[in-house]
Amino acid sequence: MPSPIQQTQAIVLGRKESGESYWHLNLFSAIDGPLPVLLRKPSAKRSPKLSIPDLFDQIDVQLQGGRQGKSYFVEDLRILKHNIELAHHYQALIHASQFAHILWRNLTHAEHFEPIHTLLLQALEAFSQGVRPEVVHLKALYLFAREEGYPVREHWIATLPAALAKDAKHALSNPPNGDQPPSDKTENLLHLLQHYLKSHTDILI
């Protein structure tokens, strides 16, 4: 007896070919959380049935299977929104992909998916502007750590040298396109935050 069809809306966090017949997609749903799925490639013998979504597309999808830790299979898929603007900003795309990779590695341990999904949508909107993507990445990672319950303000910022702590507070409290420290300083802050999370939390970087 085939497993029931599950319908959900999700964001594509990862996409790669899986053998000759399938695409493997990492989907993130606000309701269902992380969903590893397989999408059959179009066959040369028949016209393509389903569109292949791009990274960070928002989709409506019908899935089957997924039991006992196995991937779901896509039965139907409709693209709701292409993230076209992000593709025009290479550095923003790199930072967005790195943040998405961190989210995917940690979603199975998350208690609540909706706030993280909202944070991701806000981060993608900011990344799509192409302005100071390292600041967007810094703010998104900082907020994700806070959402996971880690005292990053009280512990990470408080343990930074005074000049760095001042830059961190300034960067985090202002919009990316506003008054920000120079890029080399915010890139350094991002690396310091990643190192802190590796050393002092269970967040996988």
pLDDT in tens, 20-61: 889 999 999 999 999 999 999 877 565 556 789 999 999 999
What is d(CA 185, CA 193) in angstroms, rounded to the nearest whole number? 12
Answer for the pair 13, 100: CB distance below 8 angstroms, yes or no: yes
Burial class (CB in 10 A: 0-12, 13-18, 19+), 106: buried
Pairing of strands 33-40, 72-81: parallel
In sequence order, what DSSP letters do the residues of 25-48 get, joined into one string? EEEEETTTEEEEEEEEPPPTTS--
Answer for the pair 130, 95: CB distance below 8 angstroms, yes or no: no
pLDDT in tens, 128-156: 999 999 999 999 999 999 999 999 999 99
pLDDT in tens, 92-128: 999 999 999 999 999 999 999 999 999 999 999 999 9
